[in-house]
Chains A and B, each alone.
Chain A
Amino acid sequence: MTHEATSTVVTEVACPLCGHACDDLSVDTAGAALAVVAHGCDRAVSGFARLSAESSAATPRIAGRAASLDEACAEAARLLAASAQPVFGGMALDVSGARGAMELVDQAGGVIDHMNNEFGWRASRVVQDGGGIITTLAEVKNRADLILLVGTDAVSVQPRFFERCVWVKETMFDLQPASRRIVYLGGALDTTPGRSPDGRAPDVFDFDCSRMPEALSVLNALVAQQPVDGDAPLGIALARWQELADALLGAKYSVVVWEGSTFDMSQLDLNVGAIGSLVRRLNVITRCNSLPLAGNDGDLSMAAVHIWQTGYPMRTSYASGAPKFDPLHNGIERLLATGEADALVWLSSLNDLQAPPVTGMPTIVIAPPSLKLASEPQVYIPVATPGMHHTGHFVRTDKVVTLPLQALRKSALPAAGEVAVAIATRMKEVQS
């Protein structure tokens, strides 16, 4: 179904609610909340409805009492100026929000750590250790003849992955989309979307995903024509593994899809490294690329801005006046648990479901009014959402495409980036 643009329906809307950033949504702006009327997955439909809903009652609060935006920013600035080591969590922001956050964290001498960064920084470290051979969505759509999903079903994080990249009507090259081979590595995955339009079932290598390092070792060995012990690694006949290795070697353009949060945290580096080895080895004779799925909650938008402005990824401390990157030391969960941090700023404009941790420390929450809080923070500032109330930019899963986000309905609330800059400006006044 394609909705025509009408006076109240806006078409070709980009969605910031997952890293896939579909940009073909039609959104009706007439009601009390935005209604996705075409091309919306469940997450988009509910997210647009929830985050865009009428919020005129929302007002900043200081210690639970209503305050003006100026007063709230001033109080936040005071708390941050008094803090020796503030930490910034949440960080579900678009580019403009991230820009504001960077200005504030530098001024406050803090540390930024995105809510998804517990696996994000590990994935980043694999790039810092070895690198990777990587592709993007349009290449997958047009070229991928074999898609190997490692421990992920893709759709749990990016619901329209198969619809938009795999089971499409046509490709530019000599490839019938329906003929693609889909292989899942790991059990307990939703493999239904991997069934081809003509009813061909995907290959599923069904094993406990916590054994993924073994599985990737088997594949790496077979692709390298090295011996593998036993007749049935992970309970699956060796012949099936061999056939998969041969298929990867025979494919013209295979794609290995993975997603950090699906791996056991302690195995993430190992698995991503093993995927990198597999892809590198295949490229000696044919083309194969990995496709990391990320970008949910604006994690790649925040990461991109952090890296381009200062050179370092998140988990960099600005406390000394110059950036110091130490991802092991600067995880904010650790800093909060050990008491090394003494104030928490929770910044989010895209995620209204994950509440900040209750820490007992001075806490500043800058978030959509629909976010439910477990306890009243010292300062609360409700903000608008990019792509709904104001324009913005969102970095997609492949780190290459940035989608423009539209302002679809008015909101009296400020943008998260504006609030962060306002607090930073207040801090400069206080400190000068």
Chain B
Amino acid sequence: MSVIKLTGGRVIDPANGVDDQVRDLYIRDGRLIAAPDAHDRISAEYNISGRIVMSGAIDMHSHIGGGKVNIAREMLPEDHGGDPVERTDLTRSSCGHAAPGTLAAGYRYAEMGYTAAFEPALLPVNARQAHMEMGDTPMLDTGGYAMLGSDDFLLRMLAAKEDQQAINDYVAWTLHATQTVGIKVVNPGAISAFKFNQRKLDLDEQNAFYGITPREIVKVLSRAVHDLGVAKPLHVHASNLGVPGNVDTTLGTMDAAEGLPVHLTHIQFHSYGTEGERKFSSAAARIAEAINQKKNVSADVGQILFGQTVTASGDNMVQYRNAGHGSPKKSVIMDIECDAGCGVVPFKYKDQNFVNALQWAIGLEIFLMVDDPWRIFLTTDHPNGAPFTTYPHLIKLLMDRSFRSAMLDTINPDARAMSNLAGLDREYSLYEIAIMTRAGPAKLIGLADRGHLAPGAAADIVVYKEDADRERMFEKPELVFKDGELVVRDGRIVKVVRGGTHAVKPEFDIGIEKKIKPYFERFHSMRMNNFKISDDELCECGGGSRLMAHACRKRG
């Protein structure tokens, strides 16, 4: 068979403990092999001596598909105009900066060396659309985390004190029905509470109708995900996002998982204290200390970067509260199908604004104070903190202390004075960046053949030209291979490919449908059988994309 050889690159492959070793890589039939055998012939060889080689990057939290993303796109024609993607012989035209079209998003991710991205807030009732949008996102493998926790079916189960086993069955059923790879909870129970006109919901505050607290929801869902053997820990967007002093809620939310694996997402937005004249301060040190101590906890940062973006969230309670801060001032807030909600608010982060500048510093403080790069992930919560296209800039901030200091000197001076960022000397290494953007996400989500470069792995490979300017280095890799095909050369698409969809398939008792089916008929607006997405239909949603199913080993 024909084999592609990458000769002489400096391989950085943390999953296999390889740190900057010169190795030849061989690709056959879309996968890495140890060495060609007698029947193989080298059909193409790339001399990449001196070049840095990593596996394809994986964005474990990026809002790339689904109703709220499409609302954001529709709302922001003024933001798209400056970022056109022109049609070429190979690629289609598209556009968009903060909320790009799926085509633009796929091309740009690939041009930056990303080969997978995961939509973290896939509403079960909107799963089809999310998969269709991700299916129209070329170049990338995709997957979603299904949102539970404010859906009336779960809240009714909790109010009826149904046992954990029944909840596990419902969670597993949801993963199957929505073809997703994990479970997310957003402001637990509060999207429902907002529908009953509650305007805030603390960790131990009851939903007015159900009497259920966010703590209980995090507890049962983290247990369910664990029991079912789903690799990806429960993905938690904690209560009180953006509220000064929310650090206590965030620490309490970690504890609500009672020692089981739990992932706190965009934790920057949940790391705020109330010190200082303006009653807004960094609590990054307490958060980082907690992550360092609690080995069951992981987090992604949700770094903000200055400029125009749009916030798109399932958290309609918080988005409604923050709608007045929108820039441009407009917002869409939705209650959705007794299932969830969403809120879309455009936002412009300003470096001279005290709060925004401190948010910027808090995110960087967390990055630099969390010791274990396997449990902290590089995200901007695209597009909520900044568009994903800012990742190379963010990497430079983490890897280059003098650059970071220079940037720090330009922000709001009061915010600078409130931050300990100037005293944080750490510089991330390429090895640590590779952990945060490749090996770590693959391990967290349970993608055994991605995020590394050992024989057997899918040949998602990125070749960078070493450059002391890390932003320049990471924004334009020389070569990107997706499943063994060269798709990007010198930062330009040379081949358009369609990725696959990751989904987990935990075992469960199908008897749970005896409860779900009548619920749909009595209270819902559609039938259960039309809610569920079959394997065949998933591929149709994806426009012909491939289902990559992952079995789960039950722990419950």
Contacts and interface: CB of A to CB of B under 8 A. Distances in A.
Interface string A294-311: 000000000011011111
B524 interface: yes
A158 to B, nearest CB: 12
Contacts of A172: 152, 156, 338, 523
Contacts of B102: 308-309
Most chain A CB within a 10 A radius of its CB, from B71, B320, B525: B525
Interface stretch (A63-71, A235-243, A395-403): A395-403
B95 A135 contact: no
Contacts of B126: 400-402
A362 interface: no
A311 B96 contact: yes
Nearest to B79: A311
Given A128-B77, A312-B80, A137 B525 contact: yes
B83 to A, nearest CB: 8
Contact of B332 (A99, A134, A305): A134
A321 B93 contact: yes
A360 interface: no
Contacts of B125: 138, 400-401
Contacts of B81: 325
B330 A129 contact: yes
A310 B320 contact: no
A130 B335 contact: no
A134 B94 contact: no
A106 B93 contact: yes
A23 interface: yes
A172 B154 CA distance: 13
A132 B101 CA distance: 22
A332 interface: no
A318 B95 CA distance: 11
B386 interface: no
Given A128-B77, A312-B77, A24 B527 contact: yes
B413 to A, nearest CB: 34
By size class, the interface of chain A is: 35 or more
A169 B126 CA distance: 26
Contact of B129 (A14, A286, A402): A402
B142 to A, nearest CB: 13
A164 B523 CA distance: 10
Given A307-B70, A400-B337, A323 B530 contact: no
A286 B523 CA distance: 23
Contact of A393 (B93, B132, B333, B522): B132
B543 interface: yes
Given A12-B530, A253-B195, A139 B338 contact: yes
Interface string B515-556: 000000011111101100100010011010000000000000
A309 B530 contact: no
B295 to A, nearest CB: 39
A323 B74 CA distance: 14
Nearest to A21: B526
Contacts of A95: 132
A142 B526 contact: no
A130 B84 contact: no
16 contacts: A12-B530, A96-B540, A131-B323, A133-B320, A139-B338, A142-B152, A165-B525, A170-B522, A287-B335, A304-B70, A307-B101, A310-B94, A311-B96, A311-B104, A400-B126, A404-B533
A96 B132 CA distance: 10
Interface in A377-432: 391, 393, 395, 398-404, 432
A139 B132 contact: no
Most chain B CB within a 10 A radius of its CB, from A307, A310, A311: A311
B156 A311 contact: no
Contacts of A124: 74
A313 interface: yes
Nearest to B78: A128
B516 to A, nearest CB: 14
Contacts of A12: 527, 529-530
Contacts of B95: 310-312, 322-323
A287 B195 contact: yes
Interface of A: 12, 14, 23-24, 95-96, 99, 102-103, 106-107, 124, 127-139, 141-143, 164-165, 169-173, 252-253, 283, 286-287, 289, 304-305, 307-313, 318, 321-323, 325, 391, 393, 395, 398-404, 432
Given A106-B87, A289-B335, A401-B337, 11 more contacts: A99-B543, A135-B335, A136-B337, A138-B338, A253-B195, A309-B94, A310-B94, A311-B95, A312-B80, A399-B70, A400-B125
Interface of chain B, helix or strand or loop or mixed? mixed
A404 B522 contact: no
A325 B95 CA distance: 11
The 3 tightest CB contacts between A and B, nearest first, are A311-B96, A322-B84, A311-B101
A400 B541 contact: no
A404 B543 contact: no
A173 B337 CA distance: 14
Contacts of B96: 311
B13 interface: no
Most chain B CB within a 10 A radius of its CB, from A129, A130, A172, A286: A172
Interface in B328-346: 330-339, 344
Contacts of A23: 526-527, 530
Nearest to B537: A404
Contacts of B527: 12, 23-24
B41 interface: no
B195 A127 contact: no
A38 to B, nearest CB: 13
B92 A142 contact: no
B111 interface: no
Contacts of A309: 92, 94, 101-103, 136
A131 B330 contact: yes
B195 A403 contact: no
B209 interface: yes
A318 B74 contact: no
B317 to A, nearest CB: 11
A400 B75 CA distance: 16
Nearest to A13: B530
Contacts of B136: 99, 305, 308-309
A318 B101 CA distance: 14
Given A128-B74, A131-B75, A400-B337, A321 B86 contact: yes
A42 to B, nearest CB: 21
B11 to A, nearest CB: 37
B337 A139 contact: yes
A12 B76 CA distance: 37
Nearest to A428: B89
Nearest to B519: A172
A251 to B, nearest CB: 11
Interface string B46-70: 0000000000000000000101011
Contacts of B195: 139, 143, 253, 287
Interface in B99-143: 99-104, 123, 125-126, 128-129, 132-133, 136
Contacts of B99: 311
A24 B323 CA distance: 38
Given A311-B96, A393-B128, A286 B530 contact: no
Contact of B334 (A24, A136, A170, A401): A136
A45 B86 CA distance: 45
B73 interface: yes
Nearest to B80: A311
Most chain B CB within a 10 A radius of its CB, from A252, A286, A287: A287
Contacts of A325: 77, 80-81
Contact of B333 (A134, A170, A398): A134
B21 interface: no
Nearest to B320: A283
Contacts of A129: 330
Interface string B223-248: 00000000000000000000000000
A138 B530 contact: no
Contacts of B74: 124, 127-128, 307, 313
